[in-house]
Structure 1
Amino acid sequence: MKTSHLLLYILSVSTTAIISCNSSKNNTSDKTGMAYNQKTNGGFEVNTRFRRGPGPGLMEIEGGVFVMGGSAINVPGQELGNYNHKRETTVSSFYMDETEVSNTNWLEYLNWIRNTYPGDQEYYYNELPDTLVWRQPLSYNEPYVDNYLRHPAYQDYPVVGVTWEQAQRYCAWRTDRVNELLLREQGFMTSFKDLNGGANSNTTAPVNPGAKEPFNTDLYLNGQIDDRGKRAKKDLNPGSAANTAGNAGTGKDAPTRNVRLEDGVIKQPYRLPTEAEWEYAALGLIGNTQYENIGENKIYPWNGLGLSSAKKKTRGLILANFKRTKGDYMGVGGSLNDKGGVTVSVRSYTPNDFGLYNMAGNVSEWVADVYRTGTFEAADAFNPYRGNYYLDKKMLDPTSGKLDKDKYGRPILQAAIGGKKQTWAQKQAAANAPAVVDSLRGNTSYADQRGYRDRENELYGEITLVNNKSRVYKGGSWQDQALWLNPAMRRFMQQDESTADIGFRCAMTMLGAPEISTAGKTEFKQRSSPKFNPKRM
């Protein structure tokens, strides 16, 4: 990474929150002149001090244009489906995990399930990784079957034996735990200390006060979890139930409300990265870019054609965990080349120019996309993705707006009805005639041409292993040779299957301006809106 970009990156990371560009800095509408955040003026609230920042574990990835599949190496005899067709693509800025999800991270998830649902053995069992993936007919791997997930010797190693579906559920669980932590620690909800009877503890609370289900972000935002902490938001709406009750207090006794999405406190959902996001982040071309000029392309997440370090202090050290030859997994005793026989710690080697570890080797990683060989011949040039399956939260009561939920306190999702907003009459008809609506569901849910327009059989003629549950994984692993370390390489596996060499990391959407930092950059000056004084008209 060039020095100027390194300083810029450190500055952007150290400033964990970024002030949003807001035209309403004066707490007054520039179109009506009405004041914001005033109980006596309608109570319309606008957060004019919103500060953006990543959730725990995430690094900021400034998006931009790159050539999808541009790092691919054409090898004679290589199958067409092993790499992406070269195509110029733009990826929005986003956040990505600094490291792969580790065994300790997954055990935290399992511990929460056991504490929250102690009698639900099925839930716990379904989220257990398949440790039998280590078994091979002609290999002695039984120690990994028994120890890899739980023994402290492997606590910082990447979790394996997890399916794409399990990874998706982990992302949803992580979203709720992070948002609950933010709300409780900032006093918007009852603090962990108070929940635990005054004990000095900040462990995740399994159950909300007066409720049977744990915290869920969607249900909280929908008002179905009512928990107000000591620093709960003041309710400025004069028409709210609390303010019209006749006994609404002032100051500390003033009515309060739940945090809303508009307050900027709630984090976006953790999710699997798209294939385009993953490939863009793995290349880390930002380190080779100055004034929109890429000085040097890459075929790995690091510069150069070699697989070992060229720096004086680390010269000769292997830069990733992979298999050098068909039988060489770790090198010669006394001078091990990559320091690992199977996986290694998620913080091994050096991070790439985005600060991400092990974007080549160690374990391959699940991404969100459905696999097709020709996806990027036809996909959109902006944020390309194949896998859209639009879902709506099922309504329990259309009058109150309450969402239906499952036995774990999570909103029930159902296939979207159509591609545009319904009229009020259609919405009421849907609520009153669910059987009719259900017959229409699914007609427009697949929005990425899966189905009759999709050439599902293009790999092997009329018979293929590729289907709508085939998911892409990227990055190469401890079992792969160097060819697979190239970020453009891609393979697929069924979303309900797992192996000993596939793990994952999470991503998160970045909202607002795509630029991470404006430090040291020339900017256009913005002038304030002309002031309006209704008393002097």
Structure 2
Amino acid sequence: MLKQVRNCILLLSAIGAFASCKNGSIFKKKPEKSTATGWNYNDKNQGGYFVAKPKDIKTGPGLVFVQGGTFTMGATQEDVMGDWNNVPRRVTVNSFFIDKTEVANVHYREYIHWIENVFQDNQAVIDGAKPDTLVWRSELAYNEPYVEYYFRHPSYNYYPVVGVTWRQAHDFCIWRTDRVNEISLINAGYQNKNVLKTELNGGGQDNFNTKSYLMGAYEGVPGKPKNNPLKDAQGRPRTTVTMSDGILFPDYRLPTEAEWEYAALGYVGENPEPRRSEKKRGEELIANKQLYAWQNDGFDNLRSTRHGAWQGAFLANFKRGAGDYMGTAGGLNDRSAIPSEVTSFFPNSYGLYNMSGNVNEWVADVYRPTTNQDEDDLNPFRGNVFTKVDKSGGEDPENWRDSLGRIKEIPEADSTLTHRRNYQRSYAIDYLDGDSLSRASYGYGITTLISDKSRVYKGGSWNDMPYWLSPGSRRYLQEDQSSSTIGFRCAMTHYGAPEGTSFKHNKTGNFFPSRRQKR
């Protein structure tokens, strides 16, 4: 018995010693030093410069990671329309995120619900956010049930929202960014959940906006996070989050045309040897140029060719021919006379649904027929207007917000850009296209139907023939107009290594063993 007591005492002493050492200098982790100055990071005694650990950003709600790369953007089949607006050209897009599905009615009604509660005293804001359900109306068709119920009835909850202008889709992306970041701060304890009660009870201008929060124009109700790792220069816990803390998500936005087309093609599935580890390098090879969003598998690319119950089934929702929207009773081909659920039909290699068919989708770009010839070959995009914060109301950040709670922005003055080498004008929509630098004049918006408000849409719809289902096909509509055949999905920029979170060694560039090269 005495021996057992002695052993217990020795064990408890060892545990106490271990705990003492763990809290002492033996197990204390040395602070990271700056390789530029030698000062410690995250050390209140040496400046208190807080540096978050490098990490890949989390995948936001509803998104899928798309590993970037090079591809031939443009036509994949004969230009039967004679537009010649999608000339093939080799470009590269960096890695990004994109929605797995089109934005559905239920998602957009969630947005309207928020607008109606936060801006309950501003009917103009509410009306400006609602989709135009009259896009279903036709003089020579009985479509009134869709006018009344397609957007509102629960039977259509997960059908893609239509009747939304490019501008409304753009605003939805801003709203989605704010809601995702707001709930992230609340869940982490940096904002008090009671802020939602005030916001949804007619909060109006005083609602959470990510950029307003980061610029100090919105404080909300700070929370009290447990085990708060964030510190100020004096080593005291702080509750105000910055982008460098790695907690907030980047902006949801409309995908660029290049991103959308690249994601639709799903080239990761066309690479026979994808890179899976540091020791096994993938082949730099694209095996095939796909005609539609799914992999080519047999001669008839519009239907499943695999043996089994689904052989011959249509892989997308489209119009097979004049008057044929879904086939014959008892043998319906795509089972959809109008748009179908956003998770219906066959996903592509990235797991993205309905990149061909169902509804066309807005992308961020301004339309020009010569786009592929003019743009950069890395992350090509036409539509930039470079802005700065409008501080005409004074230096108080609270005066920088507009009536919606967003930061007011104005174009940069061209006079301040004359000494820059990378850009000399803030309005770049018509750059090298009808301006003095290009020495060309097209009269867009004057002599043609194309203007600086013409936005690209892609993908084909339930009311389109197969030609428009090809990812390289492109059309345009004014940004303030809508259609029963156009919806949208959101995207998000990916920060960090291009191979993303799924790759074990998440690095940018190739890292070789540390040894000197032979002379």
Partner of 2:303: 308
1:229: Cα distance to partner? 1.2
Q: Relative to structure 1, is the Cα distance of residues 514 and 255 closer, same or farther in structure 2, using a 3 angstrom cutoff?
A: closer
Match of 1:79 among 70, 77, 82: 82
Pairwise CA distance, 1:150 = 0.4
**1:520–1:96 CA distance, 2 compared to 1 (3 A):** same
What is the CA–CA distance in structure 2 between the aligned matches of 1:478 and 1:50, rounded to whole Å?
41
Could you tell me which runs of 5 or more consecutive residues in structure 2 were left unpaired when the two chains were aligned: 1-29, 274-282
Is the CA contact (8 Å cut-off) linking 1:63 and 1:93 kept in structure 2? Answer: yes
Q: Which residue of 2 aligns with 1:201?
A: none
Structure 1: distance between partners of 2:447 and 2:430: 21
Q: Please give the alpha-carbon distance, in whole angstroms, between the structure 2 residues aligned to 1:296 and 1:80.
A: 24
1:466 to 429, 439, 450: 450
Q: 1:337-362: CA deviations, max 9, x gaps?
A: 11100000000012100111000000
Q: Do the aligned partners of residues 412 and 93 (structure 1) sit closer, same or farther apart at CA in structure 2, a change above 3 Å counting?
A: same
Match of 1:250 in 2: none
User: Does the Cα contact within 8 Å between 2:224 and 2:239 map onto a contact in 1?
Assistant: no
Does residue 33 of the first structure (1) align with residue 17 of the second (2)?
Answer: no
Which has the larger displacement, 405-414 or 388-397? 388-397
Q: Does 1:280 align with 2:276?
A: no
CA contact (8 A) 2:97 2:492 kept: yes
Q: Distance in 2 between matches of 1:301 and 1:492?
A: 20
Partner Cα distance (1:36, 1:527) in 2: 26
Percent identity for Structure 1 against Structure 2: 42
Alpha-carbon spacing, 1:130–1:483, altered in 2? closer, same or farther (3 Å): same
**1:38–1:236 CA contact under 8 A, matched in 2:** no
Aligned to 2:149: 147
TM-score, structure 2 normalization: 0.82
Is the contact between residue 76 and residue 289 of structure 2 (CA under 8 Å) also seen in structure 1? no
What residue in structure 2 maps to residue 524 of structure 1?
511
- Counting only pairs closer than 5 Å after superposition, residues 21-100 of structure 1 correspond to structure 2 as 27-69=32-74, 71-76=75-80, 78-81=81-84, 83-100=85-102
In structure 2, the residue matched to 1:229 is 223
Cα shift at 1:256: 2.2
Question: Which runs of no fewer than 5 residues in structure 1 stay unpaired?
Answer: 1-24, 198-203, 244-253, 424-441, 529-537
* Alignment: residue pair count: 460
Shift of 1:115: 1.2
Contact 1:104 1:156 in 2 (8 A): yes
Aligned: 1:385 with 2:381: yes
Check whether the contact 1:37–1:236 (CA below 8 A) recurs between aligned residues: no
Query: 8 Å contact 1:388–1:448 — kept in the other structure?
Result: no
Partner of 2:315: 319
Q: How far has the Cα of 1:206 moved from its partner?
A: 3.1
C-alpha contact (below 8 Å) 2:68/2:92 kept by paired residues: yes
Q: 1:421 to 1:458 in 2, by over 3 A?
A: closer
Give how far 1:524 is off: 3.0
Q: Which residue of structure 1 aligns with residue 426 of structure 2?
A: 444
Residue of structure 2 in register with 1:126 after alignment: 128
Aligned residue for 1:146, secondary structure, equals: helix
2: CA distance between counterparts of 1:345 and 1:228? Answer: 40
What is the CA-CA distance between 1:297 and the residue it aligns to? 2.0
1:479-490 correspondence runs (5 A) = 479-490=463-474
Match of 1:329 in 2: 325
CA shift in 2, pair 1:421/1:526, >3 Å: farther
Structure number with bigger Rg = 2
1:41 CA displacement: 1.3
What SS does the corresponding residue of 1:471 show, helix, strand or coil? Answer: strand
Work out whether residues 456 and 466 of structure 1, in 8 Å CA contact, stay in contact via their aligned partners in 2.
no
Aligned to 2:286: 294
> Which residue pairs with 1:216 in the alignment?
209
Task: Report if the CA contact (8 A) 1:321-1:344 is conserved.
Answer: yes
- Counterpart of 2:495 (choices 502, 511, 518) is 511
Q: Would you say the 8 A contact 2:206–2:218 is kept in 1?
A: no
Counterpart of 2:400 in structure 1 is 404
**Whole-Å Cα distance in 1 between the matches of residues 469 and 31 of structure 2?**
51
Q: State how far apart, in whole Å, the 1-side matches of 2:452 and 2:132 are.
A: 23
In the other structure, the counterpart of 2:366 is 370
Contact 2:205 2:402 survives alignment (8 Å): no
Q: Give 1:329 shift.
A: 0.2
**Cα gap change, 1:403/1:384 in structure 2, threshold over 3 Å: closer, same or farther?**
farther
SS of alignment partner, residue 89 of structure 1: strand
Alignment of 1:415-430 (within 5 A): 415-418=411-414
- The aligned runs of 1:264-275 (5 Å cut-off) are 264-275=246-257
Q: Which amino acid aligns with 1:308?
A: R
Q: Offset at 1:327?
A: 1.0
The 1:221/1:378 distance shift into structure 2, 3 A limit, reads same
What displacement does 1:126 show?
Answer: 0.8
Q: Flag the 1:521–1:310 CA change in 2: closer, same or farther, 3 A.
A: farther
User: CA offset at residue 186 of structure 1?
Assistant: 0.9
User: Which amino acid in the other structure matches residue 368 of structure 1?
Assistant: A
SS at 1:294 equivalent: coil
Q: 2:304 is aligned with what amino acid? A: S
1:341 is the counterpart of 2:346: no
Shift of 1:79: 1.8
Secondary structure in structure 1 of the residue aligned to 2:125: helix
- Between the aligned partners of 1:208 and 1:140, the Cα distance in structure 2 is 39
The code of the aligned residue for 1:333 comes to: A
Distance 1:255 1:26, change over 3 A: closer
- Partner of 2:325, secondary structure, is coil
2:373 alignment partner, SS class: helix
For residues 99-121 of structure 1, give each alpha carbon's deviation from its aligned partner in whole angstroms, at most 9, with x where no partner exists.
00000010000000111121211
- 2:110 is paired with a residue of what secondary structure? helix
In structure 2, what is the Cα distance between the partners aligned to 1:261 and 1:297? 39
CA contact (8 A) 2:56 2:496 kept: no
Q: Residues of 1 paired with 2:349 and 2:448: CA distance? A: 38
CA distance in 2, matches of 1:37, 1:267: 23
Q: Could you tell me which amino acid in structure 1 is paired with residue 126 of structure 2?
A: Y
CA contact (8 A) 2:317 2:357 kept: yes
Amino acid at match of 1:373: P
Which residue does 2:5 correspond to in 1?
none
Aligned partners of 2:497 and 2:506 also within 8 Å:
no
CA distance in 2, matches of 1:145, 1:502: 15
Give runs of aligned pairs for residues 348-359 of structure 1, distance below 5 A.
Answer: 348-359=344-355
Taking the aligned partners of 2:241 and 2:506, their CA distance within structure 1 comes to 35
> 2:12 corresponds to which residue?
none
Distance 1:38 1:396, change over 3 A: farther
Q: Evaluate the alpha carbon distance shift between residue 255 and residue 95 of structure 1 in structure 2; reply closer, same or farther with a 3 A threshold.
A: closer
Deviation, 1:526, is: 6.4
CA displacement, residues 485-526 of structure 1 (integer Å, 9 cap, x when unaligned): 000000011110001000000001111111124349996356
